[in-house]
Structure 1
Amino acid sequence: MKFSSKEDVEAPIDFVFAQVSDFAALERSALRRGAEVQRVDDLTTTGAGMAWDAAFEFRGKRRQTEVEMVEYDAPNAMRFVSASQALSADVEVELVALSRGRTRLRMSIELRPQNLSARLLVQSLKLARGSLNRKFDKRMAGFARDIEQRFARTA
């Protein structure tokens, strides 16, 4: 099952990439939403090989996953692979400069079930695809507006 969304951001590609790759801020945001996030790699620079352990509530159940960055192409793309007992996920973040001050941000998430209970979960998600896509699009739009506001404060 795949979710994807794109938003045009009124900010240069370098600024947008800096915001989507600010992992310390993203970790804090996840913590505020109730997730537990722990960085587990030894890297001193940002790049492929960064990894996190995460735990969060989803559909009334505590889920744990390991996330690893497998591709880092600044300022164009990042790709993450997530693995848990039940689900694996592939997350892609792509940026395209539309002009000097405008960037298209695209994010896609592909979920793959690893066992029968995960297949049932993914099937139930497929039934709610419309509302989940709307929520995903709304979250992406909010993230894009936040980036634009941060850019406006720096300009």
Structure 2
Amino acid sequence: MHFASKQDIEAPIEAVFQILTDFEAWERTIMRRGVQVDRKDKLRQPGAGMRWAAKFDYRGKSRDLEVELVQIDAPTLLRFAGVSQALEGAISIELLELGAKRTRMQTSVDLTPRSLTARLFLQSLRLARAKLDRKFDQRIALVAADVEMRYRSQRRA
């Protein structure tokens, strides 16, 4: 199953990339939403090979997720791979400079089932495709707004 979204951000591409690669800030944001996140690598700078283990509740069950940063090309590309018991996923964030102070963020997520149960789950999601696409766009829009807000607060400081 594939999801994609494009959002324009009022900030230079370098600033957007810097904010997106501030993984400690994103970890704190995710933890505030009730997800337990543990860093599994020893890298000091953002780079391929960074790994996280996350534990969260979804539909009444505890879920485990492993995420790895598999590719990073500053300032245009971030690619992640994720694995859970039921699903595998690939996340791609591509940045395109639209102007000196405007950046387009293209985000895509591909989900692949790892079991028959997961295949049935994804099939049921296809029935609500329009609603899921809308929710995905809304979430990515919130991330883009957060990046813009962080950029503005950095400029003021």
Which runs of 5 or more residues in structure 1 are unaligned? none
Tell me how large the CA RMSD over aligned residues is: 1.2
Q: Which residue of 1 aligns with 2:108?
A: 108
The aligned counterpart of 1:69 is 69
Measure the CA separation in 2 of the matches of 1:85 and 1:117.
11
What is the match of residue 91 of structure 1? 91
User: Structure 2 matches for 1:6-155, cutoff 5 A?
Assistant: 6-153=6-153, 154=155
Displacement after TM superposition at 1:110 (Å): 0.4
Paired with 2:9 and 2:16, the residues of 1 have a C-alpha distance of 8
Inter-partner Cα distance in structure 2 for 1:125 and 1:53: 25
C-alpha distance in 2 between matches for 1:33 and 1:72: 26
Q: How many residues of Structure 1 are paired with residues of Structure 2 in the alignment?
A: 155
Q: CA deviation at 1:34?
A: 1.2
The DSSP-based 3-state class of the residue aligned with 1:44 is: coil
Alpha-carbon distance between aligned partners in 2 of 1:133 and 1:28, rounded to the nearest angstrom: 26
Aligned equivalents of 2:28, 2:121: Cα separation in 1: 28
Deviation for aligned residue 1:135 = 1.1
Task: Determine helix, strand or coil for the equivalent of 1:11.
Answer: coil
Secondary structure of the residue aligned to 1:34 is coil
Identity level (%):
50
Find the residue that maps to 1:72 and give its secondary structure: strand
Q: Secondary structure at the match of 1:132?
A: helix
Q: Which amino acid aligns with 2:135?
A: K
Question: What displacement does 1:17 show?
Answer: 0.7
- What TM-score do you get using the length of structure 1 for normalisation? 0.95
**TM-score when scaled to structure 2?**
0.93
What is the deviation of 1:131? 1.2
Aligned partners of 2:131, 2:123: CA distance in 1, in Å?
A: 14
SS in 2 for 1:65: strand
